Structure 1
Amino acid sequence: MKLIFIHGSGGCKEAWQFQSKHFKDPLALNLPGHPDGNLCTSIAEYSAWLHSYIQEQGFKDIVLVGHSMGGAIALQYAVDYPEALKGIVTIGSGARLRIHPDVLKMFEASVAKPSLATQFSDQTYKLIAPSLVEVLQTRDQQNTPAAFLNDFKACDKFDIMEGLGKITKPLLAVVGDQDVLTPPKYSTFLVNNVEKAQQVLIPGGTHYVFAEKPNEVNQAIENFIQSL
């Protein structure tokens, strides 16, 4: 079984530091344009890229673990390319990921004034260990605010609500109970509309619950893998 971790908007593989250390032979990857290569402009395009990558590597019995946009990619993958999948895990994600217009405007402005993006990350990373925050903010700068803006636009267009019935693989929806960006109701919707789905609510966790509460999230993923 191959565990593959997919980061969120504008993100990086380093975000999965605590999972990469915990699980046996996992793969945390950088999506195209983060920073190398060309950005994909839709969730379906990111999913197609991931499918090609997985085929090239010859991976079988895959479990995709995706945060936010990464969770959307995993859901799209489960609809379009279920053959090699064993299951998927979404963390702080959902079937529809609309982005507030003010956030889009802020990142449009941050392309010319990157400090605005840093202010945003200061808030969203505030419960993560400072050593990891330093890594994430460095990688954010390397990816540039343009990657965040691109990815947020891709999320804003994403809507797979009507397609959830096509997902036949087991699904685990993990969410922090304090997540305001993708609140628990998003994960509840997944559980109510995917046949083999379960939800784990992490007390005290926000949108980056996997980095804030790694022990609890890792245990939830372990339990899910053992159930497959």
Structure 2
Amino acid sequence: MLNLILLHGALGHSKIFEPLKEELSKYFTIYTPLFSGHGTSGLPQDGISIEKYTIELKEFIEKNNLHNVYIFGHSMGGYAALCYALEYPEKLNSVMTLGTKFNWTEEQALKESTMLNSDIIAEKVPKYAALLEAQHGEKWKELLHSIAGLMVSLGKNPPLKDKLSMINVPIQIMVGDKDNMVTLEESTEVYRSLPNARLAVLPDTKHPMDKVRPNLLLEVMKDFWNLSE
């Protein structure tokens, strides 16, 4: 049995993968875990970090006794997936990332984190604030603050820096050509740093997962996995 783990991004939710699950379930048993602090899961008292989310992924795979594991990670989920691949390559068949930001500097992280101000979001983007509350409950403002801290931590000490060449499992790096958070240049640089990787640029595609055309993404996925009906 082939197992596929779909990992959401920061402030995301596993529900975002619903448009993909019916087709992917023809080939895999699908798992859509939530990182702590997201959905109905509580925020850890000691905070959140990429390192913590990597451990949560490890524990999820162990708890479910998963073998023949494939991972698709959107945004931050892709970063956690590659951190896991660095530590436990023997557990994985391959990893795909989409819209994952790798070029985290302290300056960039501080810039991104300042955008996660709950009062400004509630005032300027009320629809997004309502979505965050619907997905994560009353703690959505706390989650924003925690994710801002995660970004700053990434900027100060990016765990994948200078370690990409050590990841030997097959990787596909994907980025949308209209992604306003992740550049084609940084995605290409990461692709070239990985010893066993492919690069795919999705046309007319923005960063949010709900802006990605499912049929386009599914075709790229199937091509990487060499799947056919």
Structure 2 partner of 1:29: 33
State the shift of 1:186 in Å. Answer: 2.2
Q: CA offsets per residue over residues 122-168 of structure 1, 9 Å max, x none? A: 8xxxxxxxxxxx86762155550321332243234332130101101
Match of 1:104 among 101, 113, 130: 113
Structure 1 partner of 2:11: 10
Structure 1 partner of 2:65: 58
> What percentage of aligned pairs have identical amino acids?
22
TM-score by length of 1: 0.83
* Structure 1 residue ranges without an equivalent (≥5): 123-133
Contact 2:14 2:34 in 1 (8 A): yes
Letter in 2 for 1:18: P
Go from structure 1 to structure 2 and tell me whether the alpha carbon gap of 1:186 and 1:115 turns closer, same or farther (over 3 Å shift). Answer: same
User: Hey, what's the Cα distance between the residues in 2 that align with 1:210 and 1:89?
Assistant: 17
Contact 2:173 2:198 in 1 (8 A): yes
TM-score by length of 2: 0.82
Letter in 1 for 2:13: C
Go from structure 1 to structure 2 and tell me whether the alpha carbon gap of 1:12 and 1:209 turns closer, same or farther (over 3 Å shift). Answer: closer
State the shift of 1:209 in Å. Answer: 5.1
Contact 1:12 1:136 in 2 (8 A): no
What is the total number of aligned residue pairs between the two structures? 214
User: Hey, what's the Cα distance between the residues in 2 that align with 1:116 and 1:104?
Assistant: 17
Letter in 2 for 1:223: D
The alignment partner of 2:200 has SS state of strand
Alignment of 1:36-185 (within 5 A): 36-39=41-44, 41-98=48-105, 99=108, 101-107=110-116, 109-110=117-118, 115-116=122-123, 118-119=125-126, 121=128, 138-141=134-137, 144-158=140-154, 159=158, 160-185=160-185
Go from structure 1 to structure 2 and tell me whether the alpha carbon gap of 1:194 and 1:17 turns closer, same or farther (over 3 Å shift). Answer: same
CA RMSD after TM alignment: 2.5
Q: Which moved more, 1:9-18 or 1:136-145?
A: 136-145
Larger RCO: 1 or 2 (CA < 8 Å, sep 6+): 1
